[in-house]
A and B are shown apart, each in its own frame.
Chain A
Amino acid sequence: DIFQDALETYFDSK
């Protein structure tokens, strides 16, 4: 979605 950040912005990849 154009108006939402990807979750990777908040959580680190393991």
Chain B
Amino acid sequence: MFELRLEQGSLLKKVMEAIKDLVNDANFDCSATGFSMQAMDSSHVALVALLLRSEGFEHYRCDRNISMGINLANMAKILKCAGNDDIVTVKADDGTDSVTFMFESPTQDKISDFELKLMDIDSEHLGIPEAEYDAIVRMPSAEFARICKDLSSIGDTVVISVTKEGVKFSTRGDIGTANIVCRQNTSVDKPEEATIIEMKEMVSLTFALRYMNSFAKATPLASQVTISLSSDLPVVVEYKIAEMGYIRFYLAPKIEE
């Protein structure tokens, strides 16, 4: 049997909103470690990896490892029915082909349950080694989202360049060009407003803005985003999820033409 209970049910809603447009179907793996998922988009250039550690839940029981194949659009439909303050319980019995979502209002005066059919999904799992990155940028997630949105009105791709000067986001399109430079800024009153740049090597990579805008849908999950760049690796865009885990997006860089 598998069962988890999360008092902050809105967190699961935000996770689904962050990934449902990128991935259609995914296997959610439940183990003693926690609730995790790895899936690629249909073109195999972007990957999302989610981890919610077991200790972050108010209740977590996993008698044996199970993998639940879920259509994310359908799961998002169900989670939309949960109130933002609702307590969410997810339950699956061994050997059944469905998962149950239960939503309890904080005052316990409304209790709903939804059963979602599971699917057989033949998903490919990639081994992602820990890597040393040439540059790691931490910045306010809302700022990153704003930059991606603004640049996508000018061009289709973004060049992210990290130098001693800061991190530069550039694009070009039919109407012209745009460059946005963010400098390191650690002197802010609130740590969530800081921009911190760790650079070992200068790096400059080009990515499709369409994907960056999709990743930015995770913005409500975290006040800061971490962008890890190396010249020979996919970029990692990471949003930490409270004390529980993370959602990481990997995106292959544009090939030099």
Contacts and interface: CB of A to CB of B under 8 A. Distances in A.
A7 B47 CA distance: 8
B43 A1 contact: yes
A3 B126 contact: no
A3 B254 contact: yes
A5 B254 CA distance: 7
Contacts of B250: 7, 11
B252 A4 contact: yes
Is chain B's binding surface mostly helix, strand, loop or mixed? loop
A3 B254 CA distance: 6
B44 interface: yes
B234 A7 contact: yes
B45 interface: yes
Nearest to B157: A3
Interface residues of A, number: 13
A3 B253 CA distance: 9
B45 A4 contact: yes
A11 B208 contact: no
Contacts of B257: 3
Nearest to B125: A14
Interface string B177-212: 000000000000000000000000000000010000
A7 B255 contact: no
B127 A13 contact: yes
B126 A14 contact: yes
B126 A6 contact: no
Nearest to B232: A10
Nearest to A12: B127
Given A7-B252, A14-B127, A1 B233 contact: no
A4 B126 contact: no
Interface of B: 40, 43-47, 124-129, 208, 232-234, 250-255, 257
19 contacts: A1-B208, A3-B208, A4-B43, A4-B45, A4-B252, A4-B254, A5-B255, A6-B44, A7-B47, A7-B250, A8-B44, A10-B232, A10-B233, A10-B234, A11-B234, A11-B250, A12-B126, A14-B125, A14-B126
Closest 9 CB pairs of A and B: A11-B126, A6-B44, A14-B125, A4-B45, A5-B252, A14-B127, A4-B252, A12-B127, A3-B254
